[in-house]
């Protein structure tokens, strides 16, 4: 995605949400053609976009790359299964809290310094995890790993909002959300492939290597994107004022909940799929890996299509189509599980439709939500990311409550998440319509 480094996105008019530009065509330039900045990502060069994509991916990848070797981890450290599973919960907790802390601070201190500091913390914590002598040390390392990794997730979005607007931002978000959406799905496959020869400690060494690559990329390719004159000032009172202002925006909250609910639906699938696809549908390990990879490719492909369509089709319409497909496919999944006892091929086809629809929901939901909070991009990105991973942490254990030979809870949770997203989107669209009517 090449882009001239010397081109700068135009300043936004005060009081006009950046999201408004997502549903408009790029304006013709003086030569009659759309500007290269709008089409290629504003002032972000290709190397910076690549680094931001990596920053977006590492935390979701670290979330569950080690799940295939979790039993071996528990055995070596003398931990129970529940203690071993807590390593996922503590990571998600660190990821959620880290975004709430780092995002708002970046609105006052700038992005780059916090990005570098968070990446260093993620690197050190990954080494601690790789060498942990006890489950307690591993839990502490995972908490810090999530907190440090939060910097990449929250600040990569904030950098995009700082430097790029309108259609170009939506296209960048489509790329970043494709990577963030695929990472948790691909991670267990990668962990299964590497866990055998390298063990669970080797997987954390791999994560440390990725964190080191993130650090180099942040130092080399991600300049400060928030000028001093655009930074906030003040202490904790000003922070809470900003947070209340961002969260008080009904369109922002609606788009954010839609985005987070879609991610929670995906995590319900990720957590339950080993049991549903193998125990219920009877797939072999190899067949399960193929099905898992096909669904990951579905998210990526739909995200790419979304990035190409945005600018010609309103982003909010693409978001609505994605949520609609998620709800319909999930409802049909519930029906085939209850009425037909989960026949293999219909269930797999509907799962592919439901999971692939997230490529439309997550990219456009993220772009619209952060556009509504462009005046405090760090705070807006932080709230969105914290809700995203908090919902994921809450949903993941639910799908196993009925045991490992039942598909109903997974489909019901996916449908519930889709309905929550649909309701939140309706609220957001209604608020935007009222705002436009009042401004007319």
Residues written for the chain:
440
Measure the CA–CA gap between 393 and 407, rounded to whole angstroms.
Answer: 19
* For residue 103, pLDDT beyond 80: yes
* For residue 6, pLDDT beyond 50: no
* Residue for token pair 């799962």: 351
- Closest to 126 in 3D by CA, of 179, 180, 177, 61: 61
* For residue 116, pLDDT beyond 90: yes
- pLDDT class of 388 with cuts at 50, 70, 90: confident
Per-residue model confidence (pLDDT) at position 84 = 80
Q: What is the DSSP letter of 28?
A: B
Q: In this structure, are residues 188 and 62 in contact, taking their beta carbons and an 8 Å threshold? A: no
Measure the CA–CA gap between 66 and 73, rounded to whole angstroms.
Answer: 9
* For residue 285, pLDDT beyond 80: no
User: What are residue 169's phi and psi, to 5 degrees?
Assistant: -65, -45
Q: Of 2-6, 387-391, 392-396, where does mean pLDDT reach its minimum?
A: 2-6
Residue 366 C-beta-side C-alpha neighbours within 13 Å: 35
Per-residue model confidence (pLDDT) at position 440 = 61
Question: CB-based burial of residue 321 (10 Å sphere; 0-12 exposed, 13-18 middle, 19+ buried)?
Answer: middle
Which contiguous run of DSSP H or E holds residue 251? helix 250-275
Which contiguous run of DSSP H or E holds residue 191? helix 166-221
Average of per-residue pLDDT across 400-407: 71
- pLDDT class of 38 with cuts at 50, 70, 90: very low
Q: In 41-131, which ranges are continuous DSSP H helix?
A: 46-64, 70-77, 81-109, 112-130
* Residue for token pair 């978000």: 173
- pLDDT class of 172 with cuts at 50, 70, 90: confident
- pLDDT class of 181 with cuts at 50, 70, 90: low
Average of per-residue pLDDT across 95-102: 87
DSSP 3-state of 248: coil
* For residue 61, pLDDT beyond 60: yes
- Closest to 64 in 3D by CA, of 142, 4, 151: 142
Average of per-residue pLDDT across 289-299: 85
Neighbours of 112 (CB within 10 A): 18
DSSP 3-state of 188: helix
Cα angle vertex 182, ends 177, 183, to 5°? 100
Average of per-residue pLDDT across 222-244: 73
Per-residue model confidence (pLDDT) at position 55 = 87
Measure the CA–CA gap between 135 and 132, rounded to whole angstroms.
Answer: 7
Neighbours of 81 (CB within 10 A): 10
User: In CATH, what is the architecture of 43-222+236-439?
Assistant: Up-down Bundle (1.20)
Per-residue model confidence (pLDDT) at position 154 = 86
Q: In this structure, are residues 347 and 2 in contact, taking their beta carbons and an 8 Å threshold? A: no
- pLDDT class of 233 with cuts at 50, 70, 90: low
- pLDDT class of 27 with cuts at 50, 70, 90: very low
- pLDDT class of 12 with cuts at 50, 70, 90: very low
The neighbouring-strand residues paired with 28 are 34
Percent of the chain residues past pLDDT 90, beyond the cut? 35
- pLDDT class of 288 with cuts at 50, 70, 90: confident
- pLDDT class of 66 with cuts at 50, 70, 90: confident
Tokens, residue 151: 């910097």
* Residue for token pair 């369109």: 251
Per-residue model confidence (pLDDT) at position 349 = 96
- In 3-state terms the chain splits into helix, strand, coil percentages (rounded to 5) of 80, 0, 20
Average of per-residue pLDDT across 89-114: 87
Q: Of 83-92, 234-243, 376-385, 427-436, where does mean pLDDT reach its minimum?
A: 234-243
pTM score, two decimals?
A: 0.74
* For residue 26, pLDDT beyond 70: no
Question: Which position has the higher pLDDT, 381 or 75?
Answer: 75
CA 351 and chain centroid, separation: 20
Average of per-residue pLDDT across 268-282: 83
- Closest to 340 in 3D by CA, of 394, 281, 396: 281
Mean pLDDT of the chain: 81
Q: In this structure, are residues 218 and 393 in contact, taking their beta carbons and an 8 Å threshold? A: no
Tokens, residue 197: 């020869």
Neighbours of 233 (CB within 10 A): 7
pLDDT digits (tens, 9 = 90+) for 138-156: 999 999 999 999 999 888 8
- pLDDT class of 4 with cuts at 50, 70, 90: very low
Would you tell me the crossing angle of helices 358-372 and 166-221 to the nearest 10 degrees? 90
Measure the CA–CA gap between 115 and 233, rounded to whole angstroms.
Answer: 19
- Closest to 264 in 3D by CA, of 386, 360, 388, 179: 388
Average of per-residue pLDDT across 75-94: 83
Per-residue model confidence (pLDDT) at position 287 = 84
Measured distance between the N- and C-terminal CA atoms of the chain, rounded to whole angstroms: 37
> Which are the contacts of 26, defined by CB distance < 8 A and separation ≥ 6?
34, 35, 38, 39, 166, 167, 168, 311
Measure the CA–CA gap between 356 and 125, rounded to whole angstroms.
Answer: 33
Measure the CA–CA gap between 407 and 342, rounded to whole angstroms.
Answer: 8
* For residue 236, pLDDT beyond 50: yes
């Amino acid at each position: 995605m090449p882009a001239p480094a010397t081109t700068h996105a135009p300043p936004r008019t005060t009081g006009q949400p950046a999201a408004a530009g997502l549903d408009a065509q790029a304006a013709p330039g003086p030569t009659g053609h759309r500007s290269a900045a709008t089409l290629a990502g504003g002032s972000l060069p290709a190397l910076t976009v690549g680094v931001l994509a990596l920053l977006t991916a590492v935390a979701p990848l670290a979330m569950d790359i080690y799940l295939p070797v979790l039993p071996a981890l528990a055995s070596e450290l003398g931990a129970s299964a529940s203690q071993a599973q807590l390593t996922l919960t503590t990571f998600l907790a660190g990821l959620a809290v880290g975004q709430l802390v780092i995002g708002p601070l970046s609105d006052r201190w700038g992005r780059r310094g916090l990005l570098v500091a968070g990446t260093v913390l993620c690197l050190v914590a990954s080494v601690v995890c790789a060498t942990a002598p006890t489950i307690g040390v591993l839990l502490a390392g995972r908490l810090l790993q999530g907190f440090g990794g939060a910097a990449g997730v929250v600040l990569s979005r904030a950098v995009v909002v700082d430097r790029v607007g309108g259609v170009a931002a939506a296209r960048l978000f489509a790329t970043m959300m494709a990577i963030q959406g695929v990472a948790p799905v691909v991670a267990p496959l990668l962990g299964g492939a590497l866990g055998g020869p390298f063990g669970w400690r080797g997987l954390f060494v791999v994560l440390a290597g990725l964190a080191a690559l993130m650090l180099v990329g942040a130092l080399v390719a991600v300049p400060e994107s928030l000028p001093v004159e655009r930074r906030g000032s003040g202490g904790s009172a000003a922070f809470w004022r900003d947070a209340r202002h961002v969260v008080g925006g009904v369109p922002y909250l609606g788009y954010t909940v839609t985005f987070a609910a879609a991610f929670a639906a995906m995590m319900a699938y990720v957590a339950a799929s080993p049991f549903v696809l193998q125990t219920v549908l009877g797939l072999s390990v190899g067949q399960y890996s193929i099905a898992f990879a096909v669904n990951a490719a579905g998210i990526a492909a739909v995200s790419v299509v979304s990035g190409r369509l945005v600018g010609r089709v309103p982003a909010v319409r693409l978001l609505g189509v994605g949520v609609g497909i998620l709800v319909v496919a999930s409802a049909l999944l519930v029906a085939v599980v209850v009425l037909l006892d989960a026949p293999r091929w219909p269930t797999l086809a509907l799962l592919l439709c439901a999971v692939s629809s997230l490529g439309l929901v997550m990219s456009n939901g993220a772009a619209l939500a952060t556009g509504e909070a462009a005046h405090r991009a760090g705070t807006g990105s932080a709230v969105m990311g914290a809700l995203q991973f908090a919902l994921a942490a809450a949903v993941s254990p639910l799908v196993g409550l009925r045991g490992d030979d039942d598909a109903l809870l997974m489909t019901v949770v996916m449908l519930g998440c889709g309905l929550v997203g649909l309701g939140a989107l309706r609220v957001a669209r209604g608020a935007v319509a009222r705002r436009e009517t009042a401004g007319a």
